[in-house]
Amino acid sequence: MTNAVIKTMEVCRYFGEGETLVKAVEQVSITIEPGEFTAIIGPSGSGKSTLLHLVGGLDNPTSGVVELSGTNIANMSGAQISDFRRDHIGFVFQAYNLIPVLSAEENIEYIMLLQGIAGPARRQRVQEMLELVGLNDLGSRRPNQLSGGQQQRVAVARAMASHPDIILADEPTANLDSKTGIALLDVMKDLNETHNMTFVFSTHDEKIMSRASRLIHMEDGAVVHDERR
């Protein structure tokens, strides 16, 4: 028994068949411990997104096992896996994270609404989360009134709000200029250090990956190098 947040065992994810078979993820066995700040790096098409989707329960492996906080997430029903994601995993995507018709506050509040948290508690936590990511005054703005960096911070705040075991971020800085990207990473790193939040994010930006405490190199779907620093 381990208390690993993520444990994959020989997980594979293939797309297509025959001539067009793509081995997007091939025999990946990794373990992510609580409190780690891990970057998955590798060239475009190396399988970073696919791996993040697998460990986030957004996609099902072709073979192998994915365990999240000790639970095998294969064979969960639609509602079960939804609830599992809601309560255990935070997501930050490359872009278009936010619901355009909801304000920053409401975007954060939404996930707690799904969790059934009462109104006053929800609103209090929304303010705490906005403060954590340094957007105290911008809560009432709609996504289109926020810069790209601010939008990504709201996405991080939303991911934090549900008290997940881990936050998965797929190229969270790819659409940002490097300064803004580094600032976002600093916010994430800070949450990792002060709140012991476990992060796994993918990137191919050198400056970004240098902030990670662990680097997982991928090539052609396989992990070729795994270093803790």
Partner 1 sequence: MLLLKLAFRNILRQRRRTILTVLSMTGGYVLCCLSFSLTDGSYKNVIRIFTMDHTGHIQIHRDDYLQRPKVFKGIDDTPEQRQQIHSQPGVQSIAPRVFTPALAYAGTRNTPVQIVGVDPALEKTTSRLFDKVTQGQYFDATLNADGYYSAMLGIGVAESLRINIGDELILISQGADGSIANDIYIVTAIVGTRNSWDRNKVYLPLSVAQEFLSFYGKVHQYSLLLEDENAVGRITQSLATALPTLTVNPWMQVEATFYNSMEADKRGNRFTLLIIVFIVFIGVLNTVLMSVLERTREFGVLKAIGSRPATIAGLILIETMMLASMSLLVGVVIAAPIIAWFALRGIALPDPIDMGGIEFGFMTGEFSVGVFAWPMLLIMAFAIVVSIPPGIRAARVSPTRAMGSF
Ligand X SMILES: Nc1ncnc2c1ncn2[C@@H]1O[C@H](COP(=O)(O)OP(=O)(O)O)[C@@H](O)[C@H]1O
Pairing of strands 214-219, 198-203: unpaired
Residue 153 contact partner, candidates partner 1, ligand X, Mg ion, none, CB within 5 to 8 A by sort of partner: none
The DSSP H or E segment spanning 176 is none
Amino acid, res. 121 = A
Which residues, 65 to 104, sit near Mg ion by CB under 5 A? none
| Residue 38-77 contact track with ligand X, rule CB under 6 A, x = bound | ----x-xxxxxxx---------------------------
Contact set for partner 1, span 11-30 (CB under 8 A): 24
Is residue 49 at the binding interface for Mg ion, with CB under 5 A as the rule? yes
On the 0-12 / 13-18 / 19+ scale of CB atoms within 10 A, 20 is exposed
Cα of 219 vs its chain's centroid, Å: 20
Distance between CA atoms of residues 209 and 73, nearest Å:
28
Let me know: does 136 contact 105? Beta carbons within 8 Å. no
Structure tokens at 111: 């996930």
Work out whether 150 is an interface residue with Mg ion (CB under 5 A): no
Interface mask toward partner 1 for 48-77; x: CB under 8 A: -xx--x--x-xx------------------
**Distance (Å, whole) CA 128 – CA 175:** 26
Query: From ligand X, partner 1, Mg ion, none, which one binds at residue 116 (CB under 5 to 8 Å depending on kind)?
Result: none
Q: How far apart are CA 42 and CA 130, in angstroms?
A: 32
24 binds ligand X (CB under 6 A): yes
Q: Is 203 in the site for Mg ion (CB under 5 A)?
A: no
Residue ranges of alpha helices (H) inside the chain are 48-55, 78-88, 104-114, 119-132, 148-161, 178-195, 206-209
Residue 176, beta-bridge partner list: none
Residue 152 interacting with Mg ion (CB under 5 A)? no
Residue with Cβ nearer partner 1 (56 or 149)? 56
Question: Among 63, 71, 72, 82, which residue interacts with partner 1 (rule: CB under 8 A)?
Answer: 82
Enumerate binding residues for ligand X (CB under 6 A): 15-16, 22, 24, 42, 44-50
Give residues in contact with partner 1 (CB under 8 A): 24, 49-50, 53, 56, 58-59, 78-79, 82-83, 85-87, 90-91, 93-94, 96-102, 106, 109-111, 113-115, 158-159, 162, 170-171
